[in-house]
């Protein structure tokens, strides 16, 4: 169970833009001032359509991408701070820390296991590299035992440490990716669509394994998916992103029963509901138009070009992300009345 009080990860107004060479302006505005926290031991699900900034947000929290602005606090320690003014100009000098000790605490499991494993290294070398970087093994035998233990823990044959990634199936490769993340005994793992590239038949095995490990090791997850149906069972809370912005966040059950942001309502209307009573009240809403480009996002509420409830104010003013009911946050002018 998640510890109610303790926040492990906190971000405030986190922003990540990718400047485009030779093009004026801020470039791709992939993550726009996202604020949230993740409690120790919980799973925070993060959903939204492809391209809305989920991966960028996950990697920026880990500082695998250098943030453009905002603040990241890990276990009470500020690991990045660069407050920006309204025009996006830094208000002072950015503060950041040496990430090496945090690299051990914060890990990532990638969406595409085959692309995330070096094809020239054996799986033993891949897992051993993580152990070596953080000097976790006392000697050679200790190191070999650790690798074997990790392979066994993720359900792989311990004799296969000398094989190369291409000799494994997609599901087995993802297990290697998980073993690599676990090798450093992390506290926090960004699971970036860890099952999207896998056969449906093995997706639930991998999810179950991640849940077992969480219970065993007290891990905290940011679990990214493009589909609410994947995260709703495994997440304590869920955040919904649209075009770089976090539009809603709440307890998983509450957000599924009672979504308050128009975009979440459209997302949920597309998910089959097992509860017949809820299913009768939930009309399918089809969104018109394409997702706008994050290089040139709409003014005001980024959703206004597709929102069925948009008013003039929506195109002029960006709605604030506010707590509307205890633990239930959203950014929409409709809710401010």
Residues found near ligand SF4 in the complex (CB under 6 A): 262, 301, 303-304, 307, 309-310, 314, 319, 332-334
Interacting residue with ligand ADP among 2, 7, 13, 18 (CB under 6 A): 18
CB 310 within 8 A of CB 225: no
Q: How many CB atoms lie within 10 A of CB 138?
A: 9
Sites for ligand ADP among residues 50-109 (CB under 6 A): 50-56
- Selection from ligand ADP, ligand SF4, Mg ion, none that 310 binds (CB < 5 to 8 A by kind) is ligand SF4
- State in angstroms the smallest separation of the CB of 273 from ligand SF4: 22
- Selection from ligand ADP, ligand SF4, Mg ion, none that 165 binds (CB < 5 to 8 A by kind) is none
Quote the CA–CA distance of 89 and 82 in Å, as a whole number: 10
DSSP notation for 210-264: HHHHHHHHT-EEEEEES-HHHHTTT-SEEEEEETTEEEEEEEHHHHHH---SHHH
Size of residue set near ligand ADP by CB under 6 A: 12
Instruction: Work out whether 56 is an interface residue with Mg ion (CB under 5 A).
Output: no
- State in angstroms the smallest separation of the CB of 303 from ligand SF4: 5
Sites for ligand ADP among residues 280-299 (CB under 6 A): 294
CB 305 within 8 A of CB 289: yes
Sites for ligand ADP among residues 26-55 (CB under 6 A): 28, 30, 48, 50-55
Quote the CA–CA distance of 307 and 311 in Å, as a whole number: 9
The nearer residue to ligand SF4, 172 or 305, going by C-beta atoms, is 305
CB 68 within 8 A of CB 244: no
Instruction: Work out whether 252 is an interface residue with ligand ADP (CB under 6 A).
Output: no
Nearest to 59 by CA among 26, 7, 106: 106
- Selection from Mg ion, ligand ADP, ligand SF4, none that 113 binds (CB < 5 to 8 A by kind) is none
Nearest to 29 by CA among 38, 21, 37, 20: 20
Instruction: Work out whether 55 is an interface residue with Mg ion (CB under 5 A).
Output: yes
Residues in the chain: 337
Query: Which residues sit at the interface with Mg ion, rule CB under 5 A?
Result: 55
Query: Which residues sit at the interface with ligand ADP, rule CB under 6 A?
Result: 18, 28, 30, 48, 50-56, 294
């Amino acid at each position: 169970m998640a510890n109610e009080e303790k926040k492990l990860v906190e971000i405030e107004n986190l922003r990540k833009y990718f400047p485009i060479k030779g093009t004026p302006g801020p470039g791709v505005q992939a993550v726009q001032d996202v604020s949230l926290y993740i409690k120790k031991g919980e799973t925070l699900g993060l959903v939204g359509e492809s391209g809305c900034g989920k991966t960028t947000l996950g990697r920026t929290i880990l500082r695998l991408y250098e943030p453009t602005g905002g603040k990241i606090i890990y276990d009470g320690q500020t690991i990045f701070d660069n407050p920006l003014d309204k025009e996006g100009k830094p208000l002072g000098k950015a503060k950041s820390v040496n990430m090496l000790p945090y690299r051990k605490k914060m890990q990532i499991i990638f969406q595409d296991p085959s692309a995330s494993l070096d094809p020239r290294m054996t799986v033993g070398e891949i897992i051993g590299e993580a152990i070596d970087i953080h000097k976790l093994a006392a000697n050679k035998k200790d190191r070999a035992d650790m690798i074997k233990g990790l392979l066994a823990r993720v359900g792989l044959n311990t004799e296969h440490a000398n094989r190369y990634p291409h000799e494994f199936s997609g599901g087995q490769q993802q297990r290697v990716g998980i073993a690599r993340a676990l090798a450093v005994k992390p506290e926090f793992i960004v699971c970036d669509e860890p099952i999207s590239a896998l056969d449906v038949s093995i997706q639930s095995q991998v999810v179950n394994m991640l849940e077992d490990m969480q219970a065993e090791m007290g891990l905290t997850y940011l679990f990214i998916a493009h589909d609410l149906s994947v995260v709703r069972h495994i997440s304590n809370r869920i955040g919904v992103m649209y075009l770089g912005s976090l539009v809603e966040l709440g307890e998983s059950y509450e957000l599924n029963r009672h979504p308050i942001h128009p975009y979440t309502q459209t997302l949920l209307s597309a998910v089959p509901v097992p509860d017949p009573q809820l299913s009768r009240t939930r009309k399918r809403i089809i969104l018109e138009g394409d997702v706008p480009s994050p290089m040139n996002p709409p003014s005001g509420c980024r959703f206004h070009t597709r929102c069925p409830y948009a008013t003039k104010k929506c195109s002029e003013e960006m709605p604030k992300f506010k707590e509307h009911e205890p633990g239930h946050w959203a950014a929409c002018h409709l809710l401010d009345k």
